[in-house]
Structure formats: C-alpha cells, structure tokens
Amino acid sequence: MDINLTSKHVYGRLLLIASILLLTIVSRAQSPNAPNIIVFIVDDMGWLDTSVPFAGSVTANNKKYHTPNMERLAKEGMIFTDAYAAPVCTPSRVSLMTGMNVAHHHVTNWTHPLKNTVADAKNPPYDYADWNINGFSPIAGIEKTVHATALPQLLKAAGYFTIHVGKAHWGAQGTPGANPYNLGFIVNVAGHAAGHPQSYLSEDNYGNIPGSKVAAQAVPDLEEYYQTGTFLTEALTREALKSLEYPVAKKQPFFLHFAHYAVHTPLMADVRYFQKYLDRGLDSAEAKYASLIEGMDKSLGDVIDFIEQKGIKNNTVIFFLSDNGGLSLPPRGDKPLTHNAPLKAGKGSVYEGGIRIPFIVSYPKLVKKGQVSHTPIIIEDLFPTLLDITGMKNYKTIQKIDGRSLVPQLKEPSLADTSRILLWHYPNYWRPSNFPGTNYHSALRQHNWKLVYNQQTRNAELYDLSTDIGEQKDLSTIYPHKTKELVALLGKLLKAYNAPMPKDKVSGKPLPYPADAE
C-alpha cells in the first residue's frame, strides 16, 4: 500500500507539473472571437438511424426515425456522408481526445470499468493482444494506458471553459483516466469509468436504488433528478445547459463535450416518444430504440435553442457525431445484421455498418448552409480540427497527431484527397459469434477502395464503395495487385504503430502483421 500511495503521490505531482507546463507553454487562443465549441456525441447510433438522408437517397431507416433537430442542424451546416469512427466505443473516444488512430494509441477495445481487466470475451481462440486495457491516461507511467495530451487540456490552457457532461469511458477505475477532471475538464457531470448507464430512469435513480446491488454502470452526479420522472437524456441536457450559463455570462469561450449515454443498451423506452413508434408498428425493442433516438434529438434541439437564445450561435461550432455504428444484434429487435442496411453488419465490425457514423458540422461563420462533403474523415480528425478552429498554433502534445484538420473541407466541401488512408484495427475478441468483420479484423479505406483484413485467416477482401456500399462483392481476385498493395500498406502502418495483435496460444507470439505472413 505504501508503494501505491507513493506512486499516486508522484502521479499527482506530475499532473500538477503537466498542468502548469500546459498553461505556460500553449499559445493562448482566448480572444473575443474564439469560437465556442460543442461536441455532441451519441453512443452506438448507426449512420442511418436518423431522418437525415446520409446515404443521399432516403432509406427505410430514414423513414423510421424522427430527428427534426438533426435535420435542422444539417440544413444550417454541413453533413459528412463518409465519416468514420472505430467499431466500438472507448477506442473512438480516446481517438477524439488524443488525435491518435486506434492502431497508434492501442486502446483497441472498450475498457472494462475495473482496472487491469480485459473486456474481450472469455475463451478466445487466441491469447489477448497486448492492448491498453486501462485506456487513456493524462499521466505517464500508468500501466496499460496510452499517455497523451488530452484535447480539453489544451483548450483549457488556451482559456476555454471546458465541460464534460454524460458518458466518459476513457479509463478504468483506479487510474487517472477514470476522472474527466484529469483530462482537462473543469466541469464533469455523470462521466466516469463505465460505458453505459445502469438505467435511463429516474425511477431507478439511474441505477442507484438503495438496497439493489452496486453496479459500476450506475450513473453518478444526478441525485437531484432521482424519482422526478426525468429521463436520463433529459437530465443530462439540463445539466449541460446549466453548465453553459457561467461561461456564457462571463463571455468566456467554452468547450462542451456533451456525450449522451443514449442510444446504448439497456434499451429503455423514453416515454415521451415511445408510444408513437409502437403506433407506427415497430416492435417493442425497436420502438424503445427509436424513442432513445428521438429523445437524443430533442436534446440537440434544446442545445441549438440555447445558443440561439443566448445570441452566440454565430460564434459557436457544433459537431454532431456517433462513436461507432449501430448495434445490430439482440437486444435490438427484428433480424440481426439488418439494422444498418444498406450497410453491412453493425457495431463491433470493421464493415461499414460498424464504423460509418452520422456526422454534421454547423458553424455559421465558416460553413455555408446545407452543404454535403463526401470526403472520408475519421474521428481523430476532430482533435486538430478543433484546435485549428480556435486559431491555436504551435501547441505541444506528447503524442504525434494522426488526425487531419477538417477546416479546408468545412470551407470547401468538394475538396477531395484521394490518397488519404483511413485505418481500423481490432485485434480483439468481441463475442463468440460469426458476426461479420468483428473479431480479429483490420481495415483500410483509400478513396473508394475498402480493404477488410482477417487477422486470423489472413484473408483480404476488397470493395469499391462507390458502387458497392454494402460490401457485397469482394473484388480481391479481380484486383489482386491493388489488394496486395493495400495489404502491404496495412502491414506497414500497423508495424509502424507497433499495433497489438492477437497472440498464438501455443507459441505466445503475436500473429504476424499483414504481408509479413506471406
């Protein structure tokens, strides 16, 4: 215990020193024109789980879901049709906080709330990859974490009032990453080590019912709403808006990271909208999901209303996104693997259904109304984009940034970069199933080419997304040279990042990187 105390003490000192350095080194963006920034991030929402037609034409999903405020935001700004995240939650969230690709930060799977606990499914066919199972850490020397400079640390140092509301899930209990304050957030409401809510209901105290069993997923900090009939999505919205009052009144630029627990399981009915979807003929599970979606959309509307009422809309950037594709397994209703149609598969997969996300940007000062960009972008792009938007230059980060600023695309949506490579890496065992594209997969996208690589079989598939968004027609035998080129590139990238790989149970050695196997 003494050792722990001492090392914690050292960590504390290091954190203080790091904070001071940040506050002194970073160039200050604070100016009357520094824009306010809102990142509105939804959990597990599929690309088409909205009435906004991200696919260009209106799909069945677009008709099923009612999201008038996403439509409103899209009309006021720009949608990105080809925006991506990682196939599961924590990897995406760490990429957003660090600007690093998943293969680089090594938090390749969602983190278990308990320290040193692998979240991969039990009894895997391979030994667990050496991934950062404790998540992100703003402090060096914490075992099995990626140590990096967090986005809000930089924004806070630059004069931003930084707020986190909702799901955090950046690091395990017993590590600094469990606490949003350590990432540079001045305010934290309801964020901790868990990745989903124990309950959405105030009737359940959001999972804190005295006498029931303690769950790591019980949502903290919302006692004032217990037993008031306030759905979690609504309670978080009120907290978010309350937390904005202070910086708005002080005219201090703010960064609000508003991370809804919705629409992650447990699927629970938001009663404000549930009956409507039952009346439309949805089964109970799907009606619950649709009600979670619309409750989340109402929250977005409240946020937009707020910045309008405060007269700060012109100087406020809103990024709307999800953290991975939509779940397409039970407890979702209807047939598994259909929920993200025409995309293939869903959450957990490197096929489009698992990684393509809704993405909208509104910023009246910079972005024209009703724009559409087809540029492929990925969640780590938010890090340099936000800093670019604030005008910060020469900021120092521990890590090398993989993301690219979207400001050029925001100014001119038709800007294309056909050479850029997007990378996904999932050396993990999600669940014992044949769910396509999940366990032990990597993927690349370059322009319209999509490579899907199976680490286990070493098989590579190639798709042309311009004609086959559903990834139905594997072109690898038709374009063997292109396939080989992309496999080699994938191997090179993973090797350069020293990306973790599943390990052979007999030899204990990591599986070879792509191309090296041949």
Question: Residues 190-209 vs its own copies: string with x where CB under 8 A?
Answer: --xx-----------x--xx
Locus of tokens 């024109």: 33
Using the 8-state DSSP alphabet, how is residue 398 labeled? S
Query: Least distance in Å: CB of 359 to its own copies?
Result: 30
Residues 465-504 that bind its own copies (CB under 8 A): none
Choose between 134 and 442: whose C-beta lies nearer to its own copies.
134
Strands 36-42 and 254-259: parallel
Task: Annotate 367-392 with DSSP letters as a single string.
Answer: --TTEEE---EEGGGHHHHHHHHHT-
Question: Residues 125-164 vs its own copies: string with x where CB under 8 A?
Answer: -------------------------------x--------
Choose between 208 and 405: whose C-beta lies nearer to its own copies.
208
Piece of 64-72, 186-194, 352-360, 407-415 that binds its own copies (CB under 8 A):
186-194
Query: Least distance in Å: CB of 1 to its own copies?
Result: 4
Query: Least distance in Å: CB of 442 to its own copies?
Result: 32
Give the C-alpha separation, 28 to 30, whole Å.
6
* 3-class secondary structure, 102: helix
Query: Least distance in Å: CB of 79 to its own copies?
Result: 31
Site size for its own copies, by CB under 8 A? 63
Q: Residue 113: name the closest of 205, 201, 7, 207 by CA.
A: 207
In residues, how long is the chain? 518
Q: Contact, 60 vs 362, CB < 8 A?
A: no
Query: Least distance in Å: CB of 255 to its own copies?
Result: 14
Which residue among 32, 210, 281, 311 contacts its own copies (CB under 8 A)? 210
Residues 6+ apart with CB under 8 A from 405: 381, 384, 385, 387, 388
Residues 100-119 that bind its own copies (CB under 8 A): 113-115
Which residue among 53, 174, 266, 336 contacts its own copies (CB under 8 A)? 174
* Residue 251 binds its own copies, judged by CB under 8 A: no
140: alpha, beta or left? (left if phi > 0; alpha if psi -120 to 50): beta
Q: Find the farthest-apart pair of alpha carbons in the chain and give their distance in angstroms, rounded.
A: 64
Distances (CA, A) of 293 to 228, 305, 335, 344: 21, 18, 19, 21
Query: Least distance in Å: CB of 198 to its own copies?
Result: 10
Query: Least distance in Å: CB of 254 to its own copies?
Result: 12
Report the run of H or E that residue 237 belongs to, with start and end.
helix 232-250
Residue 461 in tokens: 């598939």
Choose between 2 and 400: whose C-beta lies nearer to its own copies.
2
Query: Least distance in Å: CB of 226 to its own copies?
Result: 4
- Cα angle at 259 between 354 and 383, to 5 degrees? 75
Report the run of H or E that residue 9 belongs to, with start and end.
helix 2-25
Question: Residues 7-46 vs its own copies: string with x where CB under 8 A?
Answer: -x---x--xx--xx--x-----------------------
Locus of tokens 């005008």: 391
Q: Residue 427: name the closest of 117, 103, 98 by CA.
A: 103
Residues 267-326 that bind its own copies (CB under 8 A): 271
* Residue 238 binds its own copies, judged by CB under 8 A: yes
Which residue among 91, 135, 177, 491 contacts its own copies (CB under 8 A)? 177
* Residue 55 binds its own copies, judged by CB under 8 A: no
Piece of 81-89, 104-112, 217-225, 437-445 that binds its own copies (CB under 8 A):
217-225
Residues 6+ apart with CB under 8 A from 434: none
* Residue 186 binds its own copies, judged by CB under 8 A: yes
Choose between 27 and 212: whose C-beta lies nearer to its own copies.
212
327: alpha, beta or left? (left if phi > 0; alpha if psi -120 to 50): beta
Strands 371-373 and 449-454: unpaired
* Interaction site with its own copies (CB under 8 A): 1-2, 4-5, 8, 12, 15-16, 19-20, 23, 113-115, 156, 171, 173-179, 181-182, 186-189, 192-193, 205, 208-216, 218, 220-230, 234, 238-239, 241-243, 245-246, 249, 271
